[in-house]
Amino acid sequence: DNGRGLPNITYNGELFLDSATFQDRWVKDMPRTHLEAQSLNVHVLNPSIKPTAGMKKKEAARNMSLIVQVSGSMRIGQPKEGPLRGFSDSFVLVPNEELGKQDVGRQWVIQSQTFRFVV
């Protein structure tokens, strides 16, 4: 249980309660893909996630969420040949609250992601 009473990952309507199960499924079932990003946009989604009173300057500087949008083309199954199809990917990044001492670990984590493949 992740403490929220919600699944961590939903993929094609299937609920995964932990990342290890999802990763195992991804590695076993997904075909090889080749992606070419053609557009990348990043914007501040929420400039102040938490109240800044009492925050250190470094914490306050990262007290935001970001929306990242990527679009381009991809091949499924064949990395060098085969038809290119369009894709778009949007995700929200938030600061990692579980950074170790001296900022060890990932600075940002994905809060939400939506990937679309154009057939």
CA dist 39 and 69 (Å) reads 8
- How confident is the model over 70-119, as pLDDT tens digits? 999 999 887 778 888 999 999 999 998 887 677 777 889 899 999 898 87
Tell me which fold the domain 31-118 belongs to.
Nuclear Transport Factor 2; Chain: A, (3.10.450)
CA torsion through residues 11, 12, 15, 16, sign? negative
Q: What is the pTM of this model?
A: 0.73
Do the Cβ atoms of 93 and 113 come closer than 8 Å?
Answer: no
Q: Is the pLDDT of residue 6 over 60?
A: no
Work out the mean pLDDT of the chain and round it to a whole number. Answer: 85
Radius of gyration of the chain (CA): 18
Do the Cβ atoms of 7 and 16 come closer than 8 Å?
Answer: yes
pLDDT score at 44:
95
Kindly report the number of other CB atoms within 10 A of residue 108's CB atom.
14
Residue ranges covered by each domain of the chain: 1-30, 31-118
Strands (E), the chain: 9-11, 14-16, 33-46, 65-76, 85-95, 108-118
